[in-house]
């Protein structure tokens, strides 16, 4: 579905008439590197703990609405009070609730595109005005001066670090300055933070800024996109707001059990993240070698589990990857500022080997 029927356009709320549902552009392929998922297998010890936890879930009972057991597990891990944690049905739900609670008619969100498209989508649904401060379209750096100016008049700010789909991070100094000038609430979306250098995380800035929220998810580093579990860390006052707007049972009992078991076994994931970072570097080097050998490819460095590349006729390259090699990546060609860009998640070693060979073949014969 791409747009609403004419009858629906007369019935739906006026702000949603031009609404287009989010489309992850998913098709079934042998190798799927299109959604920034973690394609590594769940570590063996964790798998056993998950099975045991699932076997104990009482499916006839409603889940604990605020997921207090899981909140406590997260709080112990992140070394904060449980009152500073809210769990959601994926980071998505928490992003939506952020706009729902702090946005709305007459309110402004500062956004720095190109970035995660859901921010604009949820702003539209909640009737929140979006003020876009565009990144430099060569380097994807944020125009910090312009962003600070806009932040001083914003009700909400979202900074994404590492950013999806460009892979870069914001500086902690910049985040602090935004929190200082912004009269509203600032969210740093750290969905991919486990793949970047530890010293770049903004978590400890929470001590200094009571208008700051940090968003995390178990979908990426912990390979749990299917269970839908994200969480925010923020001041108890902010958490109370999230608690008051959330769908009561949005985080189901199976999710709560799996998430707690995985976090308890989190040490097993260090190797997984290290491997993804190693493979990211290997892919980056392979693409740079292709460029040095005269193939038309440009790649940006990334602190995340994906790389953004630019190739001539990216839509055709995307199609050939899918149809000839059964490899799915994400085509961003039609996104403003990302002409001919593809976003490629870092897979396992063998998936990446196949991807490298496929791209080499396509770029050598794509004329």
Cβ–Cβ < 8 Å for 303, 167: yes
DSSP state of 331: E
Q: Which of 274, 276, 188, 284 is CA-nearest to residue 232?
A: 188
Q: Which stretch of DSSP H or E encloses residue 45?
A: helix 44-55
Task: Report d(CA 82, CA 87) in Å as an integer.
Answer: 10
Distance (Å, whole) CA 174 – CA 166 = 18
Angle between helices 90-102 and 236-245 (to 10 degrees): 100
| Residue number with CB closer to ligand PMP (164 or 362) | 164
**Tokens (6 digits) for 138:** 């060569």
Q: Distance (Å, rounded) from C-alpha 152 to C-alpha 184? A: 9
The residue among 113 and 230 lying less far from ligand PMP, judged by its C-beta, is 230
* Residue ranges in 103-162 that form contacts with ligand PMP under rule CB under 6 A: 116, 160
The closest of 313, 304, 260 to 283, measured between CA atoms, is 304
Among 196, 217, 305, 352, binds ligand PMP (CB under 6 A): 217
Restricted to residues 30-69, the positions that interact with ligand PMP (CB under 6 A) are 36
Tokens found for residue 103: 């946005």
151 contacts: CB under 8 Å, gap ≥ 6: 110, 157, 178, 181, 182, 186
Q: What is the dihedral of CA 338, 140, 196, 264, to 10 degrees?
A: -60
Among 225, 264, 273, 295, binds ligand PMP (CB under 6 A): 225
Residue with Cβ nearer ligand PMP (82 or 97): 97
Burial, 203: exposed, middle or buried (Cβ in 10 Å; 0-12, 13-18, 19+)?
middle
Q: How far is the CB of 225 from ligand PMP (least distance, A)?
A: 5
User: Binding segment for ligand PMP among 89-97, 99-107, 262-270, 274-282 (CB under 6 A)?
Assistant: 89-97
Residue with tokens 């929220």: 213
Our CB check for ligand PMP shows the closer of 112 and 290 to be 112
Q: Considering only residues 265-324, where is the footprint of ligand PMP by CB under 6 A?
A: none
Closest separation in Å from C-beta 70 to ligand PMP: 14
Kindly indicate which of the ranges 7-15, 60-68, 133-141, 217-225 contains the residues binding ligand PMP, using the contact rule CB under 6 A.
217-225
CB of 219 to ligand PMP, least distance (A): 3
Identified binder of ligand PMP from the candidate list 38, 230, 309, 320, rule CB under 6 A = 230
Instruction: State the residue for tokens 């860009």.
Output: 341
Would you count residue 91 as binding ligand PMP (CB under 6 A)? yes
Q: Which is nearer to ligand PMP, 225 or 273 (CB)?
A: 225
Candidates 84-92, 139-147, 254-262, 308-316 — which segment interacts with ligand PMP by CB under 6 A? 84-92
For ligand PMP, the closer of residues 125 and 181 by Cβ is 125
# binding residues, ligand PMP (CB under 6 A): 13
CB of 88 to ligand PMP, least distance (A): 8
The reply on whether position 340 binds ligand PMP by CB under 6 A is no
Which residues lie near ligand PMP (CB under 6 A)?
A: 36, 90-92, 116, 160, 164, 189, 191, 217, 219, 225, 230
């Amino acid at each position: 579905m791409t747009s609403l029927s004419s009858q629906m356009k007369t019935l739906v709320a006026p702000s949603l008439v031009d609404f287009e549902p989010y489309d992850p552009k998913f098709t079934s392929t042998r190798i799927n590197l299109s959604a920034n998922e973690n394609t590594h297998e769940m570590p063996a010890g964790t798998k056993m703990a998950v099975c045991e936890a699932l076997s104990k879930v009482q499916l006839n009972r409603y889940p604990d609405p605020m997921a207090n057991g899981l909140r406590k597990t997260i709080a112990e891990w992140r070394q904060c009070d449980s009152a500073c944690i809210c769990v959601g049905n994926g980071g998505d739900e928490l992003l939506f609730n952020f706009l729902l609670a702090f946005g709305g008619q007459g309110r402004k969100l500062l956004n720095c595109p190109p970035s995660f498209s859901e921010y604009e989508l949820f702003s539209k649904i909640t009737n929140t005005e979006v003020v876009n401060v565009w990144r430099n379209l060569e380097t994807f750096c944020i125009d910090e001066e312009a962003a600070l100016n806009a932040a001083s008049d914003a009700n909400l700010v979202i900074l994404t670090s590492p950013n999806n789909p460009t892979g870069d991070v914001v500086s902690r100094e910049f985040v602090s300055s935004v929190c200082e000038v912004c009269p509203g609430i600032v969210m740093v979306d750290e969905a991919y933070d486990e793949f970047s250098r530890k010293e770049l995380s903004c978590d400890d800035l929470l001590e200094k800024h009571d208008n700051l929220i940090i968003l995390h998810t178990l979908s990426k580093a912990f390979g749990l996109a299917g269970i839908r579990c994200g969480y925010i860390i923020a001041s108890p006052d902010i958490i109370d707001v999230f608690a008051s707007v959330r769908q009561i049972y949005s985080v189901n009992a199976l999710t709560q059990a799996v998430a707690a078991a995985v976090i308890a076994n989190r040490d097993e994931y260090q190797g997984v993240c290290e491997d993804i970072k190693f493979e990211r570097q290997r892919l980056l080097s392979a693409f740079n070698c292709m460029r040095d050998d005269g193939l038309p490819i440009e790649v940006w460095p990334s602190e995340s589990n994906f790389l953004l590349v630019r190739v001539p006729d990216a839509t055709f390259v995307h199609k050939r990857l899918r149809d000839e090699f059964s490899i799915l990546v994400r085509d961003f060609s039609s996104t403003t500022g990302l002409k001919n860009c593809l976003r490629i998640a870092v897979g396992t070693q063998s998936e990446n080997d196949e991807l490298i060979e496929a791209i080499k073949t396509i770029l050598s014969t794509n004329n």
